[in-house]
Amino acid sequence: MKELPPDKLSHRCDPEKLPFRSTAEVVVYDDLIGQDRALEAIRLSAQVRHRGFNLFVLGPPGSGRHSATAKLLKEQATARPVPSDWVYVNNFEAAHKPRAVQLPPGTAPRFRRTMQNLIDDLASEIPALFESDEYQSQRRSMDQELAEAQEAAMADFADRAKAENVALLRTPMGFMLTAIRNGQLVKSEDFQKLEPDEQAEIEEKIARLQEDLAKVLRQAPKLERDHRKRVEKLNVEMAERAVSARVAEIDPELLAIEAIANYVEDAREDIIAHAELFLAAAARGNDGPFPEAIRHTHRDPAFDRYVVNIMVSQNCDEHAGAPVETEPLPTLDRLVGRIDHVSQMGSLVTNFTLIKPGALHRANGGYLALDARDVLSEPLAWDALKRCLKTQSINITSMAERLSLISTTSLEPDPIPLDTRIVLIGDRMLHALLVMLDPDFGELFKVQADFEAAVEINDDNTALYARIIGSYATREKLRPVTAAGVARLIDEATRLADDSTKMTLQLGTIGDLLKEAEHYAEARDSTEIDDSDIERAVREKEKRASRVRDRMQEAIARGTVLIDTTGEKVGQINGLSVIGLGDYRFGRPSRITANARLGAGKLVDIEREVELGGPLHSKGVMILSGYLTARYATDVPFSLHASLVFEQSYGGVDGDSASSAELYALLSALSDLPIDQGLAVTGSVSQAGEVQAIGGVNEKIEGFFETCATRGLTGRQGVLIPQSNVEHLMLRPEVVAAVADGKFRVIPVATIDEGIAILTGVKAGVRGDDDTFPGGSVNARVEAKLRDFARARKAFVGPSGSGRGEAEV
């Protein structure tokens, strides 16, 4: 038996080796340690220009993934050029297809102000121009010419009619022709008294003159059309004079930009063509200058057509670089933007001024970091993000439109070209699922940055780890931490790593402990955080989460759950398991029993039969069967019927860490040798009888230790662990102290033979040259029992092989 000495049960950081008395003396260190592989991957994704090299950052929570990614992206962003501004403007030819305009960085606000000022000035100048004496004089002249032309035509007709003794009369109903006789108008009754020939002559003249009058009247609309065209031409000339003069005053630097020059020309032509908008607004008596009509669209939507809708405008400071954006709520609208609607007369309508930008617009030309789980949990967000990356453009589509939920006035804005590096941050399981289930993922996210969970313990890393702790305390404005306090934190980091040769890189958990420890330091009115504060924070955190553990230990202490810690039993052993509740894990002993009898070579896993055993546990039991059939009585049929069960187990059982304990119980049942109940066992087993490493070894040892300590430590109690798990030991001080006092034991084993010899106190035995095990050894007794079963089975079945016993099996 090779019991481990106390110094092998835990790794302790020596505060004397730390080069400071407290973290107040530590130089701030903002980098990470042990993450070179991940950081290089982030730099690669940030620097490479080819498409598809988007990044997925994976690793455990609290490892600094988010902060490290943000820091590196900001560093790389400063070396990239400032991207362009993007705006949407009206498409004067097709209003439902707004135009996306690319502008030099920082130009968009100037462009918008320029258009606002242009409309503001024209709002005053155009109405004033149309009220000027010059315009009014020309307009009166045109109106007078129209009136004169109309009057001249009528006067000429009236003269011709008078020459034929016919008078032209104007009545409320229009014009009327009547005969003249002897200088007097012929009345109706007088007309009837005339001779028929004279009546016919008058009727013929009036009919002929009525046709001439109709021709004269038909000329009036033409005169009015000509007049209207002349007025429109005058209006255009006057408006063009005002608009062109004002446009000529626009900053030449802006007009030198082709996109702006083209839009201003289109806007100039549209303003000239729609000068009546300005006149109508002036006639309505809007309060204040015209910018109100354009800047407050709810007051006069007619002027929305001249708005410049800024999607994104860049900061043009000297060291601005490319943008680095995040989106904590990556819904479809927040990613790709949205088109808002307003209610008008009971209908939902929209225009290009209601287009709102998304995170992709803000990050265009730079970097966008998103939480992968959040993106995948939002409806249509992941699909939209992939589509934008595939097409390299931002196409705004609302969820209502995608699902055809409502029918509204919609827009088809120009897509904006996309040049953004997407960074998703998630866990390893999520990354594996995306690789396996999404065929597009590998093409779009070619780079992965995998953050390590732990770093190796050495002098350099320990010194850096101490600096990180000190830097965290400084950054969070905590009290300085003494060297002993830092050493205690490093010890806890080693325990969290489940490896005495490593320290966890889940720095978030360490930071939380440090903050809680400061609270206890403050309570005792200390200016520094000491190891006692760290120890209390560790204990209090464990206490808060340990209610279930305490109730389970209470059930064992009261005998509700049967666990023996003294005496010897055949076919019975204490197995160890780990239960996880959130981020808290604890060990619990379980009684495992085995029964063996004559049979047809069947090993029954009761947990699997009742569907409480998981696949890994079932695999472990099958390995036991392989071990037995390959090692014992190989020249005779395997004639065993055995059953294995976790007693008082009412939930699922999975994992193979109890397979060695199950094999020990089975060997005990076959050899009739009792197992020391003061010992508990953990470890998986191979078909060759090797005891293999398992997880949670510290919690398992401590769980059985608590059970033994409650009933009283005898000095014979202990735990058998795999030899390969020794370097993972980081036991609590009370367990180490009990081992040092000879009250508890931790015993590493490498093979089943070693373990069964310790548990039974009988040598396992090694097969000799005569192909037999030494008499009285455990293996000899097991093989003898299996041979007895084979002989009994042969005798029971009989020579014909049709005996009653075989039929029952």
For a pLDDT cut of 90, what percent of the chain falls above it? 51
* β-pair type (454-456, 502-504): antiparallel
**Strongest mean pLDDT among 223-232, 602-611, 718-727:** 718-727
Which one of 657, 659, 684, 777 is the catalytic residue? 657
pLDDT tens per residue across span 86-113 = 999 999 999 889 999 999 999 999 999 9
pLDDT tens per residue across span 548-596 = 999 999 999 998 999 999 999 999 999 999 988 888 899 999 999 989 8
Q: Would you say residue 517 has pLDDT above 90?
A: yes
pLDDT at 404: 64
Residue 468 — pLDDT band, cuts 50, 70, 90?
very high
For residue 21, count other CB atoms closer than 10 A to its CB: 13
Strand partners, 394: 416
Residue 730 — pLDDT band, cuts 50, 70, 90?
very high
CA 710 from chain centre, in angstroms, equals: 47
Q: Would you say residue 291 has pLDDT above 80?
A: no
As a whole number of angstroms, the distance between CA 385 and CA 499 comes to: 40
Buried b (16+ CB within 10 A) or exposed e, 357-394: bbbbbbbbbbbbbbbbebbbebebbbebbbbbbeeebb
Alpha-carbon torsion 474, 478, 480, 482, what sign?
negative
pLDDT tens per residue across span 399-455 = 766 666 665 667 889 999 999 999 999 999 999 999 999 999 999 999 999 999 999
Query: What are 802's two structure tokens?
Result: 């049709």
For residue 344, which phi and psi values (nearest 5 degrees)?
Answer: -135, 120
* Weakest-pLDDT range from 158-172, 311-325, 383-397: 158-172
Which one of 84, 643, 660, 700 is the catalytic residue? 700
Closest CA relative to residue 390, chosen from 461, 459, 346, 445:
445
Does the annotation mark 657 as catalytic? yes
CA angle (588, 537, 543) in 5-degree steps: 35
pLDDT tens per residue across span 55-80 = 999 988 888 899 899 999 999 999 89
Q: Higher pLDDT residue, 707 or 613?
A: 707
pLDDT at 240: 84
* β-pair type (55-58, 447-450): parallel
Does the annotation mark 569 as catalytic? no
pLDDT tens per residue across span 19-38 = 889 999 888 888 888 899 99
For residue 623, count other CB atoms closer than 10 A to its CB: 20
pLDDT at 298: 38
For residue 800, which phi and psi values (nearest 5 degrees)?
Answer: -75, -15
As a whole number of angstroms, the distance between CA 805 and CA 598 comes to: 10
Helices 659-671 & 778-797, crossing angle to 10 degrees? 70
pLDDT at 652: 61
Q: Which helix (H) or strand (E) holds 623?
A: helix 615-631
CA angle (307, 309, 310) in 5-degree steps: 140
| 456, 504 contact by CB (below 8 A) | no
pLDDT tens per residue across span 648-684 = 776 666 556 788 898 999 999 999 999 999 999 999 9
As a whole number of angstroms, the distance between CA 793 and CA 257 comes to: 99
Outline where 741-798 has alpha helix (H): 752-760, 778-797
Predicted TM-score (pTM) of this structure: 0.80
pLDDT at 524: 93
For residue 729, count other CB atoms closer than 10 A to its CB: 23
